[in-house]
A and B are shown apart, each in its own frame.
Chain A
Amino acid sequence: MNIIETQGLTKSYGGFTAVSGINLHIPQGSVYGFLGPNGAGKSTTMKMFLGLTKPTGGSFVIDGMRFPDSRVQILKEIGSLIEAPSFYGNLTGEENLDIIRRILGLPRSSVSEALETVGLTPHRKQLAKKYSLGMKQRLGLAGALIGRPPILILDEPTNGLDPVGIHEIRTLIRSLPQRFACTVLVSSHLLSEIELMADHIGILNHGRLLFEGTPDALKRDATFQGYPTDNLEDTFLALIDADNRQRGGAR
């Protein structure tokens, strides 16, 4: 069963199309890796799922519900981390999570659990404004995880983290479907990173979906089309490059 499905989902800004008629199928309980170079439309797609921006075409269903009618209901089911960190600079990490906890109506203990999960416990009394980029990113992750939502939307969650942090968060994300029975939609620029976490992959370039399926299916596809497959990163680059050339030729 797909917990998120889109039909011809499109977002245009004026004459520029950021997301162009994509059909995504995100299976329940999967870690779905959303892959694409800068400006591919990953964040834009995720923002549409959160009701932060309105599609200009097509539609999508999240757990059987649609915007704007079920806005609050949908948001109850999604924990999210989108682009730049967002927090109250005048509050500590702990107080920031407490604000979210109050809105979600969670027990007090959920704050310390979330802090522990992302490894922020030693810094919980520090002002969020004074956090390093990686700590802010961890705080954002904690804010997404705190309610143990059935759906997690994480936009480049390892952005700004050190190698140890990247490894920790990757391991965490991979374990989430079993631990919390949730579905994770996670974006990245690196296929090598997605490969380590995701069991489903969607590749986006210039707003168009180039591929959707399992990593194995991607390898099979690539072999069939004569792309390099010893290293998936090369496959990804070849795929994007071929698409760019084709777009260039069509122009």
Chain B
Amino acid sequence: MSTMNLIRLELKKIKRTGFLPAFLGGGILAAAVPAVNTAFRPELFAGLSAPPVSILLGANWQMMSMLNVLLIVAGACVLYHIEYADNAMRKMSTLPVRESSLFFGKAAVLILAGVLLLAIEAVSVFGCSIYWFSRAAAPSAGILKSFGFFLLMLIPAALLSLALASACRNLWTSLGIGVVCVFAATMIPAQRFALTLFPFAMPFQMPVNHTGDVIRNYAIAAAAETIVISLSEVIILKVRRIFA
């Protein structure tokens, strides 16, 4: 099957699961964070001298990214829960389609949902910076760069949660492990670069806090993790079949 068809197939499967409404609602909730936060104390933020995007993200990204990662973890669980709940997976494994193809179809859906989240949030940050920081020119380039970086940082987390969800037949097991991993990730000290490369910790990183070199290293790490997690999943699925 073509990639497009695989994605369409997975989109058909998530009907009535509340997957898309959850991401839309979650995105709007996360988007409200900078607006509400700034609306309550505009003078505090407007008085700062840093670029508006840095101020807005610095004050709100921790909260916003937390929502993003939790939604990604829950979304991944839903994507596999529908396969396991009524044993649809058994039917799938007797059809001429690779289990790894299904995995990558789901990964594409999850990453697209992540794009949706980030897009809503980017619009909000853009609006806030225009509304409260009118002294600066419209910061669209900075926002695009930041959110491009956020998307890259979200991909390994999405793949890892999906791999976790595919390994656990029980929704609550994968959800529990995922949430624990996310909270563990928030406790990782920012100065320990190696530790912040934990896939669930990367979505919390902000480019405004780092130099170009460090940003590049994060980007490389995210790409590397994406490849490693994908390859591992393909191997795990193969091995699981052998021991079935």
A50 to B92, CA, bound (A): 11
Q: Could you say which of B82, B87, B244 has the most chain A C-beta atoms within 10 Å of its C-beta?
A: B87
Known: A52-B93, A86-B88, A88-B82. A103 touches B16 (CB 8 A): no
Contacts of B5 in A (CB 8 A): 102
CA distance A207 to B127 in the complex (A): 70
Establish whether residues A99 and B9, one from each chain, have CB atoms under 8 Å apart when the complex forms. yes
Among A53, A84, A90, A99, residue most surrounded by chain B Cβ atoms (within 10 Å):
A90
Kindly state whether residue B15 has any CB partner on chain A within 8 Å: yes
Q: Does A156 contact B (CB under 8 A)?
A: no
**CB–CB A104/B96 < 8 A:** yes
Would you call A86 and B85 a contact (CB within 8 A)? Answer: no
Query: Are B94 and A95 in contact, CB atoms less than 8 angstroms apart?
Result: no
Interface residues in A54-85 (C-beta closer than 8 Å to B): 54, 68, 72-73, 75-76, 78, 80, 82, 84-85
Interface residues of A in 86-118 (CB under 8 A from B): 86-91, 95, 98-100, 102-105
Residue of A nearest to B87 (CB): A86
Chain B residues whose CB sits within 8 angstroms of the CB of A90 once the complex forms:
14-17, 82
- Chain B's interface size range is 20 to 34
Residues of chain A lying within 8 A (CB to CB) of residue B90: 52, 82, 84, 86
Interface assignment of A220: CB less than 8 Å from any CB of chain B:
no
| Residue B91 lies at the interface, judged by CB distance under 8 Å to chain A | yes
A128 in the interface (beta carbon within 8 A): yes
In the bound complex, residues from chain A placing their C-beta under 8 Å from that of B9 are 99, 102-103
Q: How far is the CB of A11 from chain B (nearest CB, A)?
A: 11
Q: Is A129 interfacial (CB-CB < 8 Å)?
A: yes
Q: How distant is B84 from chain A, measured CB to nearest CB, in Å?
A: 10
Which of chain B's residues have a CB closer than 8 A to the CB of A84?
87, 90
Contact of B12 with A95 in the complex, beta carbons under 8 Å: yes
Please indicate the chain A residues that have their CB under 8 angstroms from the CB of B24 in the complex.
Answer: none
Q: Which of A26-61 contact B (CB under 8 A)?
A: 50-54
Chain B residues positioned under 8 Å from A150 (CB to CB): none
Contact A53–B13 (Cβ < 8 Å): no
Q: Does any Cβ of B come within 8 Å of A157's Cβ? A: no
B98 CB within 8 Å of chain A: yes
Determine the residue in chain B with the shortest Cβ distance to A136: B86
Partner of A91, one of B16, B89, B92: B16
For B97, list chain A residues within 8 Å (CB): 72, 103
Give the residues in chain A near B98, CB-CB below 8 Å: 72
Number of interface residues of A (CB under 8 A): 33
Is B180 on the interface with A (CB-CB < 8 A)? no
For residue B242, CB closer than 8 A to chain A, the reply is yes
Residue from B8, B91, B94, B241 in contact with A87 in the complex, judged by beta carbons closer than 8 Å:
B91
Given A50-B94, A52-B244, A75-B96: A88 in contact with B86 (beta carbons within 8 A): yes
Let me know if B95 is at the binding interface, CB within 8 A. yes
A95 and B96 contacting across the interface, CB-CB below 8 Å: no
Contact A86 B91 (CB under 8 A): yes
Residue of B nearest to A80 (CB): B94
Chain A residues within an 8 Å CB radius of B85: 89
Measured CA separation A68–B244 after assembly (Å): 13
A192–B19 Cα distance when bound, in Å, is 49
**B44 CB–A CB distance under 8 Å:** no
Instruction: Tell me, in angstroms, the Cα distance from A84 to B89 when the chains sit together.
Output: 12
Selected from A78, A85, A128, A129, the residue in CB contact (under 8 A) with B94 is A78
Does B1 reach chain A (CB closer than 8 Å)? Answer: yes
Interface string of B8-30 (1 = CB under 8 A from A): 11001111110000000000000
Are B95's CB and A82's CB within 8 A?
no
Asked whether, in the complex, the Cβ of A128 is within 8 Å of the Cβ of B96, the reply is no
Q: How far is the CA of A167 from the CA of B242 in the complex (A)?
A: 39
Q: Which residues of B contact A85 (CB under 8 A)?
A: 86-87
Query: Is A99 a contact of B86 with CB atoms below 8 Å?
Result: no
Contact indicator B88/A88 (Cβ below 8 Å):
yes
Top 3 closest pairs, chain A to chain B, by CB: A86-B87, A89-B86, A86-B90
A-B contact sample (5 more), CB < 8 A, given A54-B244, A99-B12? A68-B241, A72-B98, A90-B82, A102-B12, A105-B1
What are some 26 contacts across the A-B interface (CB < 8 A)? A52-B90, A52-B244, A54-B242, A68-B241, A75-B94, A85-B87, A87-B87, A87-B88, A87-B91, A88-B13, A88-B88, A89-B82, A89-B85, A89-B86, A98-B12, A99-B13, A100-B95, A102-B9, A102-B12, A103-B9, A103-B96, A104-B96, A105-B1, A127-B16, A128-B86, A143-B91
- List the interface of chain A (C-beta within 8 A of B): 50-54, 68, 72-73, 75-76, 78, 80, 82, 84-91, 95, 98-100, 102-105, 127-129, 143
